[in-house]
């Protein structure tokens, strides 16, 4: 058997054993598909990983950059205590509308504040508000601004906070120095920044599964 071609099948096996065949968030993915949103949400096992990491960090305040239909948002919100809060940033009005519907139907709407606009702007606004720092940040929007998003996240997070960045491997394309793809360039700029960022203690973890070969950065704010 060619094991490499079985990444998706193994993901299904893991979901069956560890998440349950009736993935509680399957309705959300169905609503996203019905609304014509791109199927670029984190996978179920990745969503549960975010949930577990937020729980391990005892997160009470979570920041997300890139909402789409709110699939990752809901996994994260479900890790919050009753008085916890999640701020999620999205540029597309249509995505935000679909996400709000999903937040209402899954009962997490009262914990979530969705801010519409370019994340560079909404992150600046958050910084200006000087509200309580975040315990956990998930960055998953346009990849060309990832270095800026991580810089902003450092400023908005408490010491000890976790920062997770999605899609930092992209089937190995991250290695292509000459790439004309702005997402690859943005990811490489992020790694160059991390290589010289004393305020973060970071690692990269490669993943395979229904989202093929990709990876996360996981970092802790010192
Ligand atoms: N985190 C989601 C997937 C996000 S997909 C999940 O796993 O379920 C990336 C999202 O980032 C898209 O909805 C896209 O519209 C949004 N996005 C792209 N550029 C952005 C920007 N400059 N500011 C805020 N959101 C942006
Ligand atoms: C894309 C974006 C994502 O955040 C992701 O997880 C997968 C794919 C994309 O823009 O293609
Ligand atoms: Mg992603």
Nearest CA to ligand 2 atom 1: 40
Geometric angle at alpha carbon 99, from 9 and 87, rounded to 5°: 105
The strand pair at 157-165 and 134-139 is best described as: parallel
Model confidence at 2: pLDDT above 90: no
Model confidence at 22: pLDDT above 80: no
The strand pair at 112-116 and 134-139 is best described as: unpaired
Contacts of 213 (CB under 8 A, 6+ apart): 7, 169, 171, 172, 206, 207
Q: What is the pLDDT of residue 20?
A: 84
Model confidence at 24: pLDDT above 90: no
Ligand located closest to 68 CA = 1
Q: What is the pLDDT of residue 53?
A: 98
For residue 167, report the distance from its CA to the centre of ligand 2, in Å.
7
For residue 22, report the distance from its CA to the centre of ligand 3, in Å.
23
Q: What is the pLDDT of residue 4?
A: 58
CA distance 141 to 110: 23
| 104 confidence band (pLDDT: 50, 70, 90) | very high
Q: What is the pLDDT of residue 21?
A: 65
For residue 42, report the distance from its CA to the centre of ligand 3, in Å.
6
CA distance 118 to 208: 30
Percent residues over pLDDT 90 in the chain: 95
**Averaged pLDDT for residues 181-199:** 98
Model confidence at 1: pLDDT above 60: no
For residue 144, report the distance from its CA to the centre of ligand 1, in Å.
12
CA distance 128 to 92: 23
**Averaged pLDDT for residues 162-167:** 98
Ligand located closest to 31 CA = 1
Ligand located closest to 70 CA = 1
Q: What is the pLDDT of residue 49?
A: 98
Per-residue pLDDT tens for 124-163?
999 999 899 999 999 999 999 999 999 999 999 999 999 9
Per-residue pLDDT tens for 38-92?
999 999 999 999 999 999 999 999 999 999 999 999 999 999 999 999 999 999 9
Among 66, 141, 167, say which to mutate for ligand 2: greatest number of ligand atoms within 8 Å of CB.
167
Cβ–ligand 1 contact at 95 (below 6 Å): yes
> For residues 137 and 66, is the Cβ–Cβ distance under 8 A?
no
> For residues 32 and 79, is the Cβ–Cβ distance under 8 A?
no
CA distance 113 to 70: 12
């Amino acid at each position: 058997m060619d094991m490499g071609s079985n990444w998706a099948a193994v993901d299904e096996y893991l979901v069956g054993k560890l998440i349950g065949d009736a993935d509680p968030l399957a309705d959300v993915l169905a609503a996203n598909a019905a609304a014509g949103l791109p199927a670029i949400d984190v996978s179920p096992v990745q969503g549960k990983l975010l949930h577990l990491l937020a729980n391990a960090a005892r997160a009470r305040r979570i920041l997300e950059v890139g909402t789409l239909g709110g699939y990752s948002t809901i996994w994260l919100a479900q890790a919050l205590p009753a008085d916890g809060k999640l701020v999620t940033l999205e540029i597309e009005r249509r995505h935000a509308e679909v996400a709000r519907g999903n937040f209402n139907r899954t009962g997490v709407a009262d914990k979530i504040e969705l801010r519409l606009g370019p994340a560079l702007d909404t992150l600046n606004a958050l910084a200006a508000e000087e509200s309580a720092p975040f315990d956990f940040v998930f960055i998953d929007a346009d990849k060309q601004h990832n270095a800026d998003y991580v810089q902003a996240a450092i400023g908005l997070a408490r010491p000890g906070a976790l920062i997770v960045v999605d899609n930092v491997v992209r089937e190995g394309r991250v290695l292509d120095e000459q790439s004309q793809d702005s997402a690859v360039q943005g990811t490489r700029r992020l790694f160059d920044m991390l290589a010289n960022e004393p305020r973060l203690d970071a690692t990269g973890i490669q993943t395979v599964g229904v989202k093929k070969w990709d990876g996360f950065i996981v970092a802790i704010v010192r």
